[in-house]
Amino acid sequence: MRAAICVALLVALPALAGEASGEFKTNKRPPIRPKYAAAYESRDQRDARKRVIEVVLSEEPVDAKSAVLELDPHSAVVNQSSMMDHNYVLLWVRPGNDVSMNATYAEKMTQFVDMTPGRLQAKIDVLTADHVTGRLFTTEPVKTMDDESYSLDLKFSTDITRAPAGTKLPAGGGDPGKAFVSLRGAIAKKNWSAIKSGVTAERAESFSDLDDALSTFGMWLPKKPGKITGGEIRGDSAILDLEGEIFEGQRGLFLVRMVKSGDKWVFDRATRAGFIDSK
C-alpha cells in the first residue's frame, strides 16, 4: 500500500508544477529560491485585449489547473494557500525574449518589478502553445530607489496549463450579453427586485441590501455602460469582454461571468482585467 501511494504522488506532481532553479537575492533580504514552475494564459497588463503567458516560480507547487477555470487566473493563483505565506517570482513572457518580472516577498508584500531589456535579460528557449522554458538573469546588480539592490539568475521549464476551449461570442455577447445589458438597466434604475432576479442565487444572498449591491457593482463594473466586444461560452458559463472606463480618460477591459440558470443567463461576478491601448 505504501509503494502505491508513493507512486501516485510522484505521478500527480508534474501535473501541478514544472521545475525552477536558481535564486533572486537582495542585499537586505534572504534569497528567493523557487523549486516549482507553473504557467498559464492571462491578460497582458500592458494591453488587456492581448493575452500573455504568465509563469509562477514558487517555493511550493501551485494548482494551475483549477486557476485557469477562474475569471482571473492570476488572482486565483496568488491567493492559493501555497503562495500566501511564501515568496515567489511572477513572469509575463512574450515572444522575442520580452519578459516582465515581479518578485514578491510575502511577509510585507514587498515587490521588485523589472522588465527586459536592460540589466534584466531573458533567454527564452521554448515558447509554444504547450510549453515554456527559459532563463531570466541580471547582468549586474540593480539598485532601487530605497537604496536596496537585487540580482537574479533563474531557470524554469513547465507545461502551459490552459482552460478548455470555449465557443466564441460575437460583439454584443449574444444571449449572455443581452442578459447583462438588462441587468445594467436594472442597476441604473436601482430596481432591487430586477437586480436580484438577474444574478445567481449565491450572488443575491451575498448582498445585504440595494445599497450594498450598488456599491459592489460599482467596484466590479465601469460607471458608464461600456461596450461588450465579445467573449466565449464554456459549458454553462460565459465570459464577456466588456470595455469601459476604469477612471476618467483611461479605458480598460472588464471580464464578466454569466451563468446559465434554467432557460436564462444570470450574472455571477466581474473583475478588472487591466488597461487597454486606446490607440
Per-residue model confidence as pLDDT tens digits over 167-208: 999 999 999 999 999 999 999 999 999 999 999 999 999 999
- The answer, yes or no, to whether residue 7 has pLDDT greater than 70, is no
Question: Which range is least confidently modeled, 9-13, 51-55, 56-60?
Answer: 9-13
The pair phi, psi for residue 225, each rounded to 5°, is -55, -40
Amino acid at 263: D
In-domain check, residue 7? no
Please indicate, yes or no, whether residues 28 and 128 belong to a single structural domain of this protein.
yes
Residue that is last in its domain, among 133, 161, 189: 161
Please indicate, yes or no, whether residues 129 and 196 belong to a single structural domain of this protein.
no
Q: Rounded to whole angstroms, how far apart are CA atoms 191 and 177?
A: 19
Q: How many domains are contained in the chain?
A: 2
Please indicate, yes or no, whether residues 213 and 101 belong to a single structural domain of this protein.
no
Please indicate, yes or no, whether residues 37 and 111 belong to a single structural domain of this protein.
yes
Residue that is last in its domain, among 105, 129, 161: 161
Task: Tell me the three cell numbers of residue 7.
Answer: 507512486
With a threshold of 0.85, does the pTM exceed it?
Answer: yes
Residue 49 near residue 32 (C-beta atoms within 8 A): no
Q: What angle do CA 259, 69, 256 make, to 5 degrees?
A: 45
Q: Which residues contact 36 (CB under 8 A, 6 or more apart)?
A: 16, 17, 18, 19, 20, 57, 58, 59, 60, 61, 62
Q: Which domain holds residue 69?
A: 14-161
- Stretch 211-220: mean pLDDT: 96
Please indicate, yes or no, whether residues 107 and 182 belong to a single structural domain of this protein.
no
Please indicate, yes or no, whether residues 137 and 173 belong to a single structural domain of this protein.
no
